Chain A
Amino acid sequence: MSRNIVIIGNGISGVTCARSLRKLDSACKITLISAETKYFYSRTALMYVYMGHMPFENTQPYENWFWEKNRIELVHRFVQKIDTSKKQLHFSDGTALFYDSLVLACGSKSNKFGWPGQDLKGVQGLFNYQDLLAMEENTKGISSAVVVGGGLIGVEMAEMLHSRGIHVSFLVREKDFWGAVLPKEESKMIERHIREYGIDLQMETELKEIKGSEKVNAITTSKEQEIPCSFVGLTVGVSPNIEFLKSSAIPLDRGILINEYFETNVSDVYAIGDCAQFKQALPGRRNLEQVWYTGKEHGETVAHTILGNKKAYAPGNWFNSAKFFDIEYQTYGMVNASLKENEATFYWEHQDGKKSFRIVFDKTTQAVLGFNAFGIRMRHEVCDKWITNKTAVKDVMNKLAAANFDPEFYKYHEKEINNAFQNQLS
């Protein structure tokens, strides 16, 4: 009989795993379980639905017939408990399901840190489809809101609310925006841009209390300021969604503990994506990887292992991207918020203050280590090759235009960037 593979979670990791399994093996039985939505949609696009750029259906990358055609069975139910000794899942509606192999791809949930009033109506995070519906409901007819937490979801939420003409106060604990990831210059650029949109951005400010009787009507900040508002967005990070596993035999820490093959300590149980925690992080990587692209890579890699062709996780060079209101951001390789001992950097910023370029390289070997680009698009393949080949920073700077990915007719800045770089050297 063919193998019965069950995947919990139909986000990008779970779906990539299911698709990869089917590509590699036409016989196995694949079941994809989600309590959130029956069909896979792109989580990153929730903001565009709220802003009216797209209808929700357009966030679904595959048409509904796709799943049946590829014999991926969709189950829209909530898994309450896992019994690994009997290899059985129990759903909240009392039904159960057996598996031969189980993949946990159950993602994250929004953090809440026990603030007074955090469960009032009008207070929420933004992670899943239900959050989107709630946000639609909670922001109906309101005129002011507060967003707490200066990460990527926070800035998205600020943009969403702003698009509906809602005034936003944006509280960020750190001194610099997204300061754990971005170097100071880039943080400042984004802060300026957020303020340019009329957002009341308050740095080094924390949420103290959320006030209201049934529904939120104000908050107070760590600086003892009271801000009246009808909505509070809590975007202070996410953590693995593993509550339902606590009664199981699967070892947990912050996330589901796995080795480099995505195997948990329980045989035939794997974990991938946001919910997985590597017992030992790979050099230069975190042990929790909570971005779109790593989820994809996890899903594809684990499919091989499940089907008996064991493959260790060995990702290529790091990359990521985001958009802060109108400013696009791309990064390739490792650009840390502050330089490591062996590192040197060159930073260029356009006079309009909305475009910048940074290159980080090894002081001794001169090998390029990473790029940050804001408002300029860079070619993934070219940057990746330079980093892999440890190309010398001078050579990279001389050939920088080869990595430009801006649309045709855009003004090139590479010459200016390289001139500034040469000046800095001399």
Chain B
Amino acid sequence: MSNDLSISNPHPKIDVFEKLGLALASVGIIILLATWFGYTFENNALFLTVSISSIVLGTVVFSARKYLTQLEGIKNNGVYHSSLSSRGVVGWIIGIVLTSFYIFLYWFPEFLGLGENGNTNRGLIALFDPLSMWFKNQAASQWFVYGTIYTVCIVALGIKFMLKYRHNRYQLIRTTVVIIAQFFLAYFIPEILEGLNQEQAYFTKDLKNFWPLNYYFFDEWHLNNMQQSGSMGMFYLVWGIAGFLIITPVITYYVGKRWYCSWVCGCGGLAETAGDSFRQLSSKKLSAWKLERWMIHSVMVFVFLMTAGVLYGYFAGVSEIFGLSIYDYLRQPYGFLIGSAFSGVIGVGFYPVLGNRVWCRFGCPMAGYMGLFQRFKSRFRITTNGGQCISCGNCSTYCEQGIDVRAYAQKGENIVRASCVGCGVCSAVCPRGVLKLENGSEEGRISSGPIDIKNKTLNL
């Protein structure tokens, strides 16, 4: 049915300044692609600078021109007429490119140019050598390359998101925090600390990357490296444990899991910025919700079991439980299936096909853990404004977590769902001012409908 409606009129064409911005960003992307396909530049510092700055600048020029020439307001015109955002050819191509990038990144980094066994880096990895040298005086790893590109995407497309939603202060403040959290907490400060403590063995220095999202936190090597790194290591160890035991439940009680998922989390940050064009592609079917509940809680149980096994091994000084290798049967499968295949390849690679929150919705154990608090013990809810809902479906369409928001709103019920990441877009796109994210008393949080607007004789 909708095919009839997808091809006819093209939307107002992009103008010359927008094209200029796109061309500029393309230059940066072509440099990355060229090195991915094996080309090694003589002057990596120059080309890396050109690549990153043209991606950021090009994106800003394009989106500033696109959005600032329009009046403030919701900018979803043509989302379902665009090949990129409606699973068209462009969407599929980008999905395939992203997916293959992740496959190379996790399992074949030598094809990205990683120099193994003492060899120097080539291609894409070598392109990032100068920046890595500047931070920590060592050649780039595939993870440094990934972290840098990831941060560039969040900054550039985060700015685009802010221009698009410039009328909405919730979105502006939230996205500012997303960009700052990624740039400083996840990237700049950890890399600087690596550079300052080069004699130390590696441990994660991203303050917000809590277990169980960071599933290797309790690995033997990680625990050892933290303990061998003096007071800084001990700080990170204590902070990490307090993170999931105290900080996460307490903040989630007061404001819901959004403080993490759509404000500071790296996965969420990428989804909200780079993934914004794909939020409407999540499935809203009841069957998808059923699948979601099975999957996310299975992964959560898996990470608990895996970690329990790893910790048992660590404290008991053994490598087997019931005669089975802890590494081979728990730790390694989790890292491969969940840590790499699910969160990376499917989670981001499939953005243009399944939507931008596949990992957060179906897989992330941190989201599952916080979801339990949000559903059963939290002050957060999305309030439905009495009887004003007209069942249009914008809220459900643009819910990246696939929540059928309308199903609640049209009954006058508040939305209290484990999976809501509190991005606030349902509230933004609602044409009738029906939805409001808020924290309040637990009493009456899950309401049964607006009795005040019913026919009076029905209330007798």
Contact = CB atoms under 8 A, between A and B. Distances in A.
B79 interface: yes
Interface in A355-386: 377-381, 384-385
Interface string B3-15: 0110011011100
B170 interface: yes
Interface stretch (B145-153, B331-339, B348-356, B433-441): B433-441
B173 A44 contact: no
B460 to A, nearest CB: 9
Interface string A294-336: 0011001100100000011111100101110110101000000
Given A54-B80, A136-B4, A316-B453, A410 B393 contact: no
Interface string A369-405: 0000000011111001100100000000000000001
Contact of A165 (B12, B173, B427): B12
Given A52-B77, A54-B394, A54-B397, A136 B407 contact: no
B238 interface: no
Given A52-B11, A53-B394, A139-B9, A409 B455 contact: no
Contacts of B168: 407
A408 interface: yes
Contacts of B86: 55
A136 B8 contact: yes
B257 to A, nearest CB: 16
15 contacts: A45-B392, A53-B77, A53-B394, A54-B280, A58-B393, A197-B71, A292-B390, A321-B388, A321-B432, A377-B385, A378-B433, A384-B452, A384-B453, A407-B424, A410-B169
A312 B11 CA distance: 50
B80 A52 contact: yes
B145 to A, nearest CB: 36
Given A61-B410, A408-B170, A313 B393 contact: no
A409 B390 contact: no
Nearest to A376: B433
Interface residues of A, number: 67
The 9 closest A-B pairs by CB, nearest first: A380-B386, A326-B73, A377-B433, A165-B12, A45-B392, A55-B2, A52-B78, A314-B456, A409-B169
B391 A12 contact: yes
Nearest to A332: B386
B173 A385 contact: no
A44 B387 contact: no
B255 to A, nearest CB: 10
A196 B391 contact: no
Given A45-B391, A141-B8, A321-B388, 15 more contacts: A44-B392, A45-B393, A51-B77, A52-B77, A53-B397, A57-B1, A61-B393, A136-B4, A137-B8, A139-B9, A296-B387, A300-B458, A380-B450, A380-B452, A380-B453
Interface of B: 1-2, 4-5, 8-9, 11-13, 71-74, 76-82, 86, 167-170, 172-173, 280, 284-286, 383, 385-388, 390-394, 396-397, 406-407, 410, 424, 427-429, 431-433, 436-438, 450, 452-458
A322 B81 CA distance: 25
A28 interface: no
Nearest to B433: A377
A25 to B, nearest CB: 15
Contacts of B76: 51-53
B290 to A, nearest CB: 13
Nearest to A312: B457
A177 interface: no
Nearest to A55: B2
A220 interface: no
Contacts of A58: 284, 393, 396-397
Contacts of B81: 52
A47 to B, nearest CB: 9
B377 to A, nearest CB: 21
Contacts of A385: 452
B432 A48 contact: no
Contacts of B71: 196-197, 325-326
A159 B74 CA distance: 12
A49 interface: yes
B453 A61 contact: no
Contacts of A48: 392-394
Nearest to B436: A405
A136 B406 contact: no
Nearest to A129: B1
A368 to B, nearest CB: 15
B379 to A, nearest CB: 13
A42 interface: yes
Contacts of B12: 164-165
Contact of A55 (B11, B80, B407, B455): B80
B79 A52 contact: yes
A411 interface: yes
B433 A405 contact: yes
Contact of A49 (B5, B74, B454): B5
B12 to A, nearest CB: 4
Given A315-B455, A384-B386, A407-B424, A325 B73 contact: yes
B77 A63 contact: no
B447 to A, nearest CB: 10
Given A165-B11, A165-B12, A377-B433, A44 B4 contact: no
Contacts of A323: 431-432
A407 B393 contact: no
Contacts of A301: 455, 457-458
B2 A56 contact: yes
Given A139-B9, A405-B385, A409-B170, A377 B436 contact: yes
B397 A314 contact: no
A241 interface: no
A79 to B, nearest CB: 23
Nearest to A42: B391
A49 B11 CA distance: 14
B78 A297 contact: no
Contacts of B5: 49-50, 55-56, 132, 136
Nearest to B422: A408
Contacts of B391: 12, 42, 44-45, 61, 292
Contacts of B452: 316, 380-381, 384-385, 388
A248 B36 CA distance: 75
B169 to A, nearest CB: 4
B71 to A, nearest CB: 6
A58 B73 CA distance: 21
A31 interface: no
A377 B406 CA distance: 18
Contacts of B450: 380-381
Contacts of A137: 8
Interface string A141-155: 100000000000000
Given A42-B391, A301-B458, A304-B458, A407 B428 contact: yes
A173 B387 CA distance: 32
Contacts of B397: 53-54, 58
A163 interface: yes
Interface in A249-305: 292-293, 296-297, 300-301, 304
